[in-house]
């Protein structure tokens, strides 16, 4: 069998980054990475378990690819769903020969070698352990771009009642600060201008492992170190938790010029009662205080969030509180999720009592709000000049470039290829809900 591999990635940015690392490691082990499944001999699905639908989609896909003319291909399921469903996947997806959880992805090249030698074998590995430093930093030098993800930790200790992540990704473990800084230096030397630090709860970075220094948390110390790296112009992170979003982090938005004026801060619900059942350790007031403190420092800061509708026990009055909260904060972007009960989570015993239609109505109401406030936020930028970090050609439209404002709003404007990787001034002339359009000045 040839060794052409296609990786299909589902789920979050963490998965995207891990697929990237795996591709680099496979390349070093003599595998050839291809961009579409038709020409691949080996297909790996890097999967997500956060909602039932995500799992159903990946299982359907794995069965589809192991049928018909694709029968000869070696199929592997890796990532969160491999961890979550390791026991039943061999039955649900009988042709899948490799099942590897997110903590052991670094072993995939070795396992594929073994499977290619012995076509009767199936390998399942859902062990958890220390972060493999080689895997965490693995990259294909040819794939380094203007904006890159950098993983700073693994796992989650929060225990939100609805969430499968502690089960699939295990407890928090942190990469050493020097390793992260070295990796970002390496990227900067190869042209990266923006890094987005990834972790389930980034502001927990180093908790109980690294000391506070001058009242600053390990996470803020890490941001300060990255601020010093020449060539890096922008720093972002995904996602912080409202608990532990303290004044040292809020001050960092003022003290660290490279830290972009943008936060994705998951709220989940605007009702304190629902937050309590969700085991989210904060209330609406606390969240509002963070927003107020951030806006006092940077009035135009971009603020986005995640909301779950239809969590067990969410009454109409609770949902109204979420709506009111939205109207108060006016998030400029939000992901709205319909609750999906996950086996093995604390909320499983609450069932899934809210009817699908009710979730759908709540979802729609919030989506309309998201649209209204996104548009309003973008309209405020029209007539203003934005510093745009240019990332690539725009997907549609000739000779048009795509970049991002400091608030991470997409900006499209006419320009030339040499501008990719540079920061330019763009006068914003018009907008849609999702995009700003302008001309370079």
User: If contact means CB under 5 to 8 A according to the sort of partner, which of ligand 5AD, ligand SF4, none does residue 175 touch?
Assistant: none
Residue 160 or 388 having the CB closest to ligand 5AD:
160
User: If contact means CB under 5 to 8 A according to the sort of partner, which of ligand 5AD, ligand SF4, none does residue 271 touch?
Assistant: none
Residues paired with residue 430 on neighbouring β-strands, in sequence order: 437
Q: Which stretch in 162-170, 175-183, 205-213, 273-281 sits in contact with ligand SF4 by CB under 6 A?
A: 162-170
| Token digits of residue 284 | 């609406």
Shortest spacing between CB 430 and ligand 5AD, in angstroms: 32
- Indicate whether 412 belongs to the interface with ligand SF4 (CB under 6 A): no
> Distance from first CA to last CA of the chain, Å, rounded?
55
User: If contact means CB under 5 to 8 A according to the sort of partner, which of ligand SF4, ligand 5AD, none does residue 337 touch?
Assistant: ligand 5AD
User: If contact means CB under 5 to 8 A according to the sort of partner, which of ligand SF4, ligand 5AD, none does residue 169 touch?
Assistant: ligand SF4
Q: Which of residues 167-206 bind ligand SF4 (CB under 6 A)?
A: 168-169
Q: Which residues bind ligand 5AD (CB under 6 A)?
A: 50-51, 162-163, 266, 268, 306, 308, 337, 339-340, 342
Cβ neighbour number for residue 429 with a 10 Å cutoff: 12
Draw the binding track, 73-112, toward ligand SF4 (x: CB under 6 A; -: no contact): ------xx--------------------------------
DSSP string, 302-334: EEEEEEEES-TT--HHHHHHHHHHHHHH--SEE
User: If contact means CB under 5 to 8 A according to the sort of partner, which of ligand 5AD, ligand SF4, none does residue 339 touch?
Assistant: ligand 5AD
**CA nearest neighbour of 405 among 397, 413, 396:** 413
Cβ neighbour number for residue 70 with a 10 Å cutoff: 15
**One of 5, 6, 7, 14 touching ligand SF4 (CB under 6 A):** 14
SS3 382: coil
| Token digits of residue 109 | 């090249």
Shortest spacing between CB 340 and ligand 5AD, in angstroms: 4
Interior/surface letters 166-205, b for 16+ CB within 10 angstroms, e for the rest: bbbbbebebbebeebbebbbebbeeebbbbbbbbbbbbbb
Shortest spacing between CB 310 and ligand 5AD, in angstroms: 8
Q: How far is the CA of 111 from the CAs of 92, 121, 163, in angstroms?
A: 21, 10, 29
Q: Which stretch in 164-172, 256-264, 295-303, 380-388 sits in contact with ligand SF4 by CB under 6 A?
A: 164-172
Instruction: Name every residue whose Cβ is closer than 8 Å to that of residue 162 and which is 6 or more positions away in sequence.
Output: 278, 308, 311, 339, 341, 342, 345, 347
Residue 39 or 53 having the CB closest to ligand SF4:
53
Residue 126 or 286 having the CB closest to ligand SF4:
126
**One of 45, 85, 164, 235 touching ligand SF4 (CB under 6 A):** 164
Q: Which stretch in 48-56, 113-121, 122-130, 279-287 sits in contact with ligand SF4 by CB under 6 A?
A: 48-56
How long is the chain?
441
Spatial separation of the C-alpha atoms in residues 233 and 79, rounded to whole Å: 32
Shortest spacing between CB 272 and ligand 5AD, in angstroms: 17
Shortest spacing between CB 12 and ligand SF4, in angstroms: 3
Spatial separation of the C-alpha atoms in residues 16 and 118, rounded to whole Å: 29
Spatial separation of the C-alpha atoms in residues 16 and 229, rounded to whole Å: 24
Q: How far is the CA of 347 from the CAs of 55, 163, 279, in angstroms?
A: 18, 8, 9
Task: Return residues touching ligand SF4 (CB under 6 A).
Answer: 11-12, 14-15, 48-50, 79-80, 164-165, 168-169
């Amino acid at each position: 069998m040839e060794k052409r591999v296609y990786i299909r990635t589902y789920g979050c940015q963490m998965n995207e980054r891990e697929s990237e690392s795996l591709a680099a490691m496979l390349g070093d082990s003599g595998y050839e990475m291809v961009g579409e499944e038709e020409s691949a001999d080996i297909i790996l699905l890097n999967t997500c378990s956060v909602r039932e639908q995500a799992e159903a989609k990946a299982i359907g896909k794995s069965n589809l690819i192991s049928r018909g003319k694709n029968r000869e291909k070696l199929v592997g399921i890796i990532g969160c769903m491999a961890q979550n469903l390791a026991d039943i996947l061999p039955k649900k997806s009988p042709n899948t020969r490799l099942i590897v959880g997110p903590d052991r992805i670094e072993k995939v090249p070795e396992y594929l070698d073994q499977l290619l030698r012995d076509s009767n074998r199936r390998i399942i590995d859902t062990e958890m352990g220390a972060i493999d430093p080689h895997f965490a930093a693995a990259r294909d030098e040819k794939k380094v771009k203007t904006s890159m993800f950098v993983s700073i930790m693994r796992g989650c200790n929060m225990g939100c009642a609805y969430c499968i992540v502690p089960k699939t990704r295990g407890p928090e473990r942190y990469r050493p600060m020097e390793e992260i800084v070295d990796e970002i230096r390496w990227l900067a030397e190869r042209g990266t201008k923006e890094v987005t630090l990834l972790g389930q709860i980034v502001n927990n970075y180093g908790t109980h492992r690294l000391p506070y220094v001058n009242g600053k948390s390990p996470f803020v110390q890490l941001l300060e170190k990255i601020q010093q790296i020449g060539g890096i112009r922008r720093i972002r992170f995904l996602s912080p938790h409202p608990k532990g979003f303290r004044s040292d982090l809020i001050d960092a938005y003022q003290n660290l010029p490279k830290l972009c004026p943008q936060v994705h801060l998951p709220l989940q619900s605007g009702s304190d009662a629902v937050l309590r059942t969700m085991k989210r350790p904060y209330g609406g007031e606390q969240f509002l205080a963070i927003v107020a403190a951030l806006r006092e420092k940077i009035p135009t800061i971009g603020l986005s969030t995640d909301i779950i509708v239809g969590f067990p026990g969410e009454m109409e009055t609770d949902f109204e509180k979420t709506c009111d909260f939205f109207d108060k904060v006016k998030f400029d972007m939000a992901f709205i999720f319909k609750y999906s009960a996950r086996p093995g989570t604390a909320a499983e015993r609450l069932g899934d009592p809210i009817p699908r239609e009710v979730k759908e109505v709540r979802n729609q109401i919030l989506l309309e709000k998201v649209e209204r406030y996104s548009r309003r936020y973008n309209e405020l930028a029209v007539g203003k000049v934005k510093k745009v970090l240019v990332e690539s050609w725009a997907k549609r439209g000739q000779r048009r470039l795509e970049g991002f404002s400091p608030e991470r709003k997409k900006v499209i404007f006419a320009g030339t290829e040499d501008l990719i990787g540079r920061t330019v001034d763009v006068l914003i002339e018009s907008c849609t809900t999702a995009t700003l359009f302008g001309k370079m000045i």
